[in-house]
Amino acid sequence: MDSQDERYTSAAAEYRPALERLARAYEADPDRRRDLIQDIHVALWRSMAVFDGRCSLRTWVYRVAHNAAASHVLIRRRARAGAMVGLEELDLSDSQPNPEEALGEHQALQRLMAMIRALKAPDAQVMLLYLEDLDAASIGEITGLSAAAVATKIHRIKSVLAKRFQDGGASR
């Protein structure tokens, strides 16, 4: 069997970009984000000592990484006044793009980030996994949510994304 270091190195090589995107979604501050990325890698390395293959490597990596990021948010959010909301409560009224003004890709990305950071942890997790293009079954396996709950959340995510990006840069 591979050693802990080998398993970690292989997982980190495969999922490094996704882990970075995850950290960017959870932490806006560049210095703290570097810290978070390191924390995620430490958690992943540690976890590889007990990874027994009962679930897929992808499921394991995403679970460990999301857990590390959520723990980071729990510590950081204490300093923030803004309350987090569920997917159903996302306020779309003031954020729809002006039809005459296409959203740039950068702006569209910033909007996505803002949406994710405003979401409660379980919804943010589903949204991120969805954006990583995981299918509903994989999202269910990673989050532990039922297929029906995942389907409901994905339906809501699609609707939110359609409303926010219908006329903007997201369509390019």
Partner 1 sequence: MSDPASLDAKTIWQNQETEGTTVTLEDIRGRAAKFEKRVRDRNLREYIAGAIVIAVFGFYVWYMPGWMMKLGSLLVVAATIFIVWQLHRRGRAQAVPDGVTLAALLAFQRRELVRQRDALRTVWLWYLLPFVPGMALILLGRYFQIHVPGRPLAMDHLAIVFTAIIAALVFVVILLLNLWVAARLQNRIHELDKMTAE
Q: Which residues bind partner 1 (CB under 8 A)?
A: 5, 8-9, 12, 17, 20-21, 24, 30, 33-34, 37-39, 41-43, 45-47, 50-51, 55, 60, 63-64, 66-67, 70-71, 73-74, 77-78, 83-84, 86, 105, 108-109, 112, 120-122, 125, 130-133, 135, 142-144, 154, 157-158, 161-162, 164-166, 169-172
User: In b/e form, how buried is each residue of 136-152, taking b as 16+ CB within 10 angstroms?
Assistant: bebbbbbbebeeeebee
Burial class (CB in 10 A: 0-12, 13-18, 19+), 39: middle
Rounded least distance, CB 170 to partner 1, Å? 4
- CB nearer partner 1, residue 90 or residue 157: 157
Rounded least distance, CB 147 to partner 1, Å? 15
Rounded least distance, CB 94 to partner 1, Å? 18
Contact 157/129 with Cβ under 8 angstroms?
Answer: no
Instruction: Give the amino acid at 22.
Output: L
- CB nearer partner 1, residue 93 or residue 106: 106
Task: Look at residue 172 and give its three-state secondary structure.
Answer: coil
Rounded least distance, CB 24 to partner 1, Å? 7
Contact 97/168 with Cβ under 8 angstroms?
Answer: yes
For 18, the token pair is 């996704």
